A and B are shown apart, each in its own frame.
Chain A
């Protein structure tokens, strides 16, 4: 059984059927990409995977349990969906400290390392509201990574990142895969997906229309 299995998930928002029988799976130490045009259902599929949206039918099995039956959310998940929810009046480190205070499974050193991994300075005192979009995206990535989750869900993680940032992201995704995380990500950047993914699911109109297995460049 895979670490994450999405089984025939359907979801309607009002009159629109945004997911229609979506089915895919992810193993530990595997990177799966969701590819498709805007409105194809990638982000909604990720929200369902994280437990943020309840499917009308079908189910999501993760870590041996079923979402909405055994737990509210996956037991160990890092998430970056759309714009990260940041508190503008705090520094990057302050944001991470606040978030870490909820679970209290990581310490100060882990938070510093998470920021350094995404290219941010842990000692920077500037408030996040003064950050550029790219810096906010990096901080959102650090939030997703900081507790070394078993499941990593990244929606359009390349958004607002410059070339150097995208190269760092490729390195980080490969490091996380080597650590054993199950990773689901989406991107409109086909080159980025081909660099990091083991498999790509093509989506259109809320359905998975094809699966592509890739030979990943695994060097770090």
Chain B
């Protein structure tokens, strides 16, 4: 048991060292995206006449804002909204999937031969989780530095002006208080789970198609409010952190209830578990054919 754990740890360390450039790139991307979003927050605060300093919760909610849910009736976003997707949010949630596609993986023959197939798989999954958690820690670090520089509070509680500054839909806005902690944890968990799912899928269909599937799932999430489009669990504008937990009658139909971050964490945990087990099963039987093509 201890030997297997040691092998996994060494395999993890190898991936992190070999992929150091990717890790640094991910952290820099996180910092850049968060900085741009926070500059946008500062401008939005001015436009709504917000008083006081932003809290950590304000910054995280703004960074994870996403898009409001579609109009009632059709259940889909308008053409105008389709042409103007939430670029900042899409960049934020897609960078981890680019990282998954770029990290050195276990197909390297010389490396694979030095452990077992399953140990190699688990070690590379562990390395992936470390990198993704570092990415999200870089986001929260930039937010914390910004809040500290503005003399704000390090609480996960969002300010009363935040929904207006973020442009959140008033029709489905809950009365508050708006706590952002579970939303952020849920977003990190979902990001990690989707990363593992992409990695497992890569073993079956190749890196690029697997990236395409997850990227489409995430970037398409703003088009409809549905728990099946997992990116919805990563949006503040569609979370019960800000939305009511029941549907709201509106002109032309009803507006749906927000998604519970706790439910998102549960879905992420299940997805991660299935991905690790399925990926291990694929790795255990996979042929390393090199240049030979089927």
Q: Which residues of A line the B interface, CB within 8 A?
A: 13-14, 18, 43-44, 47, 50-54, 71-74, 77, 79, 81-82, 84-85, 87, 89, 98-99, 101-104, 143-144
Contacts and interface: CB of A to CB of B under 8 A. Distances in A.
B202 interface: no
A102 B14 contact: yes
B84 interface: no
Given A47-B290, A104-B10, A73 B110 contact: no
Interface string B75-113: 000000000000000000000000000001001111111
Contact of B13 (A53, A99, A101): A101
Contact of A77 (B18, B113, B287, B292): B113
B289 interface: yes
B17 interface: yes
Given A89-B21, A102-B11, A53 B288 contact: yes
Given A13-B292, A14-B294, A72-B117, A52 B104 contact: no
B109 A79 contact: yes
B174 interface: no
Interface in B235-288: 284-285, 287-288
Nearest to A48: B287
Interface of B: 7, 10-11, 13-14, 17-18, 21, 104, 107-118, 284-285, 287-292, 294
Contact of B111 (A71, A77, A81, A99): A99
Given A87-B104, A98-B17, A101-B10, A51 B113 contact: yes
Nearest to A74: B113
A87 B292 CA distance: 22
Contact of A82 (B21, B284, B291): B291
Given A51-B113, A79-B110, 17 more contacts: A14-B294, A52-B112, A52-B113, A53-B287, A71-B116, A72-B284, A73-B116, A79-B109, A85-B110, A98-B17, A99-B111, A101-B14, A102-B7, A103-B115, A104-B10, A143-B110, A144-B110
A57 B128 CA distance: 35
B116 A82 contact: no
B107 to A, nearest CB: 8
Contacts of B294: 13-14
A85 B113 contact: no
A84 B290 CA distance: 11
A62 B134 CA distance: 42
A44 B287 CA distance: 11
B288 A99 contact: no
Contacts of B13: 101
Contacts of B113: 50-52, 73-74, 77, 79
Contacts of B115: 102-103
Contact of A84 (B11, B17, B21, B110): B110
A85 B289 contact: no
Given A13-B289, A52-B287, A84-B110, A102 B116 contact: no
B109 A98 contact: no
B287 A102 contact: no
A15 B232 CA distance: 44
Contacts of B289: 13, 47, 52-53
